[in-house]
Chains A and B, each alone.
Chain A
Amino acid sequence: MEQKAEEEISNAFPPSSFSSSDLKQLLHSLPSNALNHFFSLGVCVRCILRLFGIKGPIYASIDNGSVENPVDSTTSNETKLCNICLGILQFRFYDDKEKRIFQKDTAYDVALLIADMVRQDGYQFDSFSLEVSIPPLILQNEASLWSYMQSKYGSEPWFREKIHTGCVSIKDALKFSLINPLEKLLDCKSSLCPFRIRLTYTHTKASEGVAKCSDNGGSCKRRKTGESDSIGEGTLSSSVEDESFDFSKLFPKSENEPCNFSYNCSRTPFYFGGRYLKYSRNVSQTRWIIDDERMGEASVEEIIGIKVLQACGGDNYKFHAAGREDIDVRMLGPGRPFILEVQNTRLVPTEQFANDIEKMINKEENKLVRVNNLKLVGSDGWNLMREGEGEKQKQYAALVWTSRPLKDEDFQQVSSLKDLKVAQRTPIRVLHRRSPLEREKIIHWMKMETVAGSSQYFLLHLCTQAGTYIKEFVHGDLGRTHPSIGSILGCRAEILQLDVTDIKMECFLT
């Protein structure tokens, strides 16, 4: 819906300039009784145009300084604050940063401010999406004015025609005003895209607006979701019935205050997917700090995240991995899938960019972490990673010591166990932060490999269900994991080292 409206605005009319006589002509073509009435009530010229359903770049072309009252050619309403839009469509606002009220004559002047802000931060973009946020109070004014119009002119033939197209919302009128000048200044077209320019209007009388909004309940919500839709249909049902509504509130005697106006731009997050390997036994997966001290010498998320962040000029990153391994466990084989979310990048990352970053990370001298198959992913990346995360099998290699020398029969006994069920009570080392439960896990297969020169050390290869605690399966965790390697072999078993050798998931393998 939004995209269509924006395209409409861009493509509808070539940005030709409407002269003030064109504006006069246009105003004269409108029903004069309604036009004069609204003018006398202090409604600004753009609010009037939008009430009559006018669209297009005329909003951008009007110069506030040269608008005349159509009736008697005296000076226009633009010197006073419009009671409906509270100055939004008159380009009058209070700027928080400069701490003073601004009064701009043309949309171009406002667009200049915005374009300056965009250029300051050094964003790379080939399109922009304009988003506008308006206080509920003014949305209420919009709706009330429409129903006022309905009650006063409902029987007129011209109104009955208009009712189908409805009036143009303040948001759309503002976009009609600003998009063409912004496109000129930023040298690109507007469209639905990750680069967002956000204009936020707020008002100190917001609470009044909120209360009214909640009165309307459902219709208020509908207005919010169908931003670019015409206002008329949505609110007719409730407001018109409310005949006791005091329309004089719309046109108070004392002057209102203009809105606070702030503007910024940002980019929606980019996502990188890939697999990481961890060669170090002193690197945690995520940043791990206890009592202001870092555990381990680095973390996978920082090694990858900081590089990517710097390269594309983002504000911050979030690291999401499919499971995790202990700080002293290496992640080998094809690696563990991960997604790195980067927020508000100044540059636009490309596939080549992802390749370059991957090479950069892998060239690091200390070789703590390796990244494979790094590439940009869309929202489907999440599904790929989360899908079946709990069911996927993991493969490990553990260096195990037994309290007695092992014989061939022991090796065969271990290899013969397929889909072995293991009951694991919450390991003591995590019992402080996890629920005390007994979890049944499956060891799909095991294979023991001798270590040359020792009859009490061997490499245990095993493939287990996701969520199995391997260390506890080897040493038994004081009997709280049963069976364990020790109980199977009838002796004491200890684990010296553990490595993850495969994560059997489909994603990010190329």
Chain B
Amino acid sequence: MSGQIIEESNSSETKELEQKQDKQKEQDEDADEELRKLLLPDVQTLPSTPPSAVESNFAIYFVLDFMKPRHDQYVYRHANGLCVIGLAPSHVAFNDEGGITAIDFNVGKSDRSGVKVTGKRKKNAQHFESNTALCKVSTKNDSYIVRCCVKGSLLEVNQQLIKQPELLNASADREGYIAIIMPKPADWLKIKPSLVSLEEYKKLREVS
């Protein structure tokens, strides 16, 4: 008899627990549903081709004929002041048959790929002028010097290029970037007038 009573009270307890769990589940599902609604975008408002990460986060500039004809480079400047340097699509090296075959960071007085910059204060970063050589890119028959274009501290060079120089041919504007430089605000203001915007670049080089 007593066993029966215990069973009954147990089952009412478990019923309560189940009800609680069901309620929690319902609440969780409601929350999930609300979350889903927030997450799903309205396709109508989405552009067919969104701006790229570079376009969204950097101001894009070009420098034309830097010290030599058709030595065109780009400078992407981030809001935090850092500048990404690379070869513009109109650079003379891309005209050579087969494109760029090799890259060498050992120019000037040191191997640019060897410097280790450490810490928040960017210790050991080398200070370069705008005409300091960054690297040398070689094609089948020629080689070209790539320079800083912006006076500042060299934070890093793109190590990937050493193993994969073909990145320069395939995507010089993204994975094929050459280096990242940190100019002082005053130095940036001095160089900015000599740079051209994307619009001007397209006009001057008749690129679409």
User: Chain A: residues with CB nearer than 8 A to chain B?
Assistant: 279, 330, 332-333, 397, 399, 401, 428-436, 451-454, 457, 459, 471, 475-479, 492, 494-497, 499, 501
Q: Check A431 against B50 for contact (C-beta < 8 Å).
A: no
Q: Name B111-144 residues within 8 Å CB distance of A.
A: 117-120, 122
CA of A105 to CA of B22, assembled, Å? 72
A428/B180 in contact, CB under 8 A: yes
Q: Which of B3-11, B80-88, B97-105, B191-199 lies at the binding interface?
A: B80-88
Question: What are the residues of chain B within 8 A of A451 when measuring CB–CB?
Answer: 40-41, 43
B interface list, Cβ under 8 A from A? 31, 35, 38-41, 43, 46, 49-54, 57, 78, 80-82, 84, 117-120, 122, 155-156, 158, 160, 167, 174-175, 177, 180, 182
B47 to chain A, nearest CB (A): 9
Let me know if A478 and B174 touch, CB within 8 A. yes
The residue in chain A whose Cβ has the minimal distance to the Cβ of B55 is A494
> What are 14 pairs between A and B in contact, CB < 8 Å?
A279-B38, A333-B31, A428-B82, A428-B84, A428-B180, A429-B57, A431-B80, A433-B120, A434-B120, A436-B122, A459-B40, A478-B177, A479-B160, A495-B53
Query: In the complex where A435-B120, A459-B40 touch, is A478 in contact with B52 (Cβ < 8 A)?
Result: no
Contact A494 B53 (CB under 8 A): yes
Contact assessment for B174 and A432 in the assembled complex, using a CB-CB cutoff below 8 Å: no
Q: Say yes or no: B43 contacts A454, CB within 8 Å.
A: yes
B39, B51, B84, B122: the one contacting A478 at CB < 8 Å is: B84
Would you call A431 and B180 a contact (CB within 8 A)?
yes
The SS class assigned to the A binding surface is mixed
Please give the distance in Å from A461's CB to the nearest CB on chain B: 9
Complex CA gap A347/B46 in Å reads 50
With beta carbons under 8 angstroms apart, the residue of B38, B41, B81, B117 that contacts A332 is: B38
Closest 10 CB pairs of A and B: A479-B175, A453-B43, A475-B53, A432-B80, A397-B39, A401-B50, A478-B177, A435-B119, A494-B50, A436-B117
Q: Are A499 and B39 in contact (CB under 8 A)?
A: yes
Q: How far is the CB of A338 from chain B (nearest CB, A)?
A: 20
Report the Cα distance A453→B38, complex, angstroms.
Answer: 18
Q: Nearest Cβ in chain B — how far from A489, in angstroms?
A: 15
Name B38's contact: one of A435, A457, A499 (CB within 8 Å). A499
Given that A497-B41, A499-B38 are contacting pairs, would A476 and B175 also be in contact in the complex, using a CB cutoff of 8 Å? yes
Given the contacts A332-B35, A429-B57, A457 and B174 also touching, CB distance less than 8 Å:
no
Enumerate chain A residues within 8 angstroms of B167, measured Cβ to Cβ. 479
| A-chain residues with CB within 8 Å of residue B158 when the two chains form the complex | 478-479
Give the distance in Å from the alpha carbon of A279 to the alpha carbon of B35 in the complex.
11
Minimum Cβ distance to chain A for residue B100 (Å) = 16
Are B41 and A399 in touch, CB under 8 angstroms?
yes
**Interface contact B46-A457, CB-CB below 8 Å:** yes
Residue of B nearest to A475 (CB): B53
Q: Is the CB of B52 within 8 A of A454?
A: no
Most buried by B among A279, A429, A430: A429
- Residues of A within 8 Å of B81, CB to CB, are 432
Alpha-carbon separation in the docked complex, A479 to B31 (Å)? 37
CB–CB B38/A454 < 8 A: no
| Given pairs A429-B57, A432-B182, A457-B41, 10 additional interface contacts (CB within 8 A) | A332-B39, A397-B39, A401-B49, A432-B82, A436-B155, A451-B41, A478-B54, A479-B174, A479-B175, A479-B177
Docked pose: A314 CA to B120 CA in angstroms:
36
CA distance A497 to B155 in the complex (A): 29
Q: How far is the CB of B73 from chain A (nearest CB, A)?
A: 15
Query: Would you call A494 and B52 a contact (CB within 8 A)?
Result: yes
